[in-house]
Amino acid sequence: MIGLYRAKYLLKKVATWLKCEEGYCQRSKEFVTLSSRDVFRRVVRMTFFLLMIFLLTACSLLNSSESGLTIDTKETLFGSAILMCDSSCSERGQCGESERGEMVLLNSEMPATFGHDMIIPDGIEVEIVGQEERSAVQLSDNEQFTVPFYLVDHPDYGQGWVAGWCIGQ
């Protein structure tokens, strides 16, 4: 019996100590002074927390164009090329999976990112016969960017326009 009373007494002491550690003691209504060591620890923790929030915010603002909407137009493709359904092409809805495998979407009439009327399998070699740059707008945030389109020709599939992020050499 004495062990049980002793355990309850110790639990009450620990509970009182925990309540008083935050700077204000609930039981005795006395203000508990913090040591300079405790103050230093709290300042360091708060500084670290604020620094982490600042870094995460700064990184997300600096990498806002990393959604892949900017296209490198420095390199102009010519001659033979390969249609590619990679992540940059599929993220923009210009290719996808079908029962025949991955397919790249093209438009037979003009450069376009919608209203496609042709599909050509991924990895097919084509001949580039023309190029045109078009301005496009991302509907989600109205961001404008320039997209290179290539007029490609294949003996079996004919001619069609493909977006620059779906073709490579």
**Listed residues 13, 35, 64: the one ending a domain:** 64
**Whether residues 80 and 55 fall in one domain:** no
Number of domains in the chain: 2
- Distance, in Å, from the CA atom of 9 to the CA atom of 147, rounded to the nearest integer, reads 75
CB atoms within 10 A of CB 21: 12
Q: Where are the alpha helices (DSSP H) in the chain?
A: 2-20, 36-62, 87-90
- Distance, in Å, from the CA atom of 105 to the CA atom of 120, rounded to the nearest integer, reads 7
**Whether residues 107 and 161 fall in one domain:** yes
**Whether residues 136 and 156 fall in one domain:** yes
**Whether residues 51 and 75 fall in one domain:** no
The per-residue pLDDT for 16 is 59
Written as six digits, the tokens of 120 are: 């050509």
The per-residue pLDDT for 72 is 46
Tokens 């090329």 -> residue: 81
**Whether residues 6 and 44 fall in one domain:** yes
pTM, to two decimals: 0.55
**Whether residues 27 and 99 fall in one domain:** no
**Whether residues 76 and 129 fall in one domain:** yes
Structural domain of residue 37, as residue ranges?
Answer: 2-64
**Whether residues 84 and 49 fall in one domain:** no
**Whether residues 109 and 147 fall in one domain:** yes
| Positions in the chain short of pLDDT 70 | 1-34, 59-76
**Listed residues 64, 99, 116: the one ending a domain:** 64
- Distance, in Å, from the CA atom of 126 to the CA atom of 120, rounded to the nearest integer, reads 10
- Distance, in Å, from the CA atom of 73 to the CA atom of 91, rounded to the nearest integer, reads 19
**Whether residues 141 and 86 fall in one domain:** yes
**Whether residues 95 and 42 fall in one domain:** no
**Whether residues 77 and 156 fall in one domain:** yes
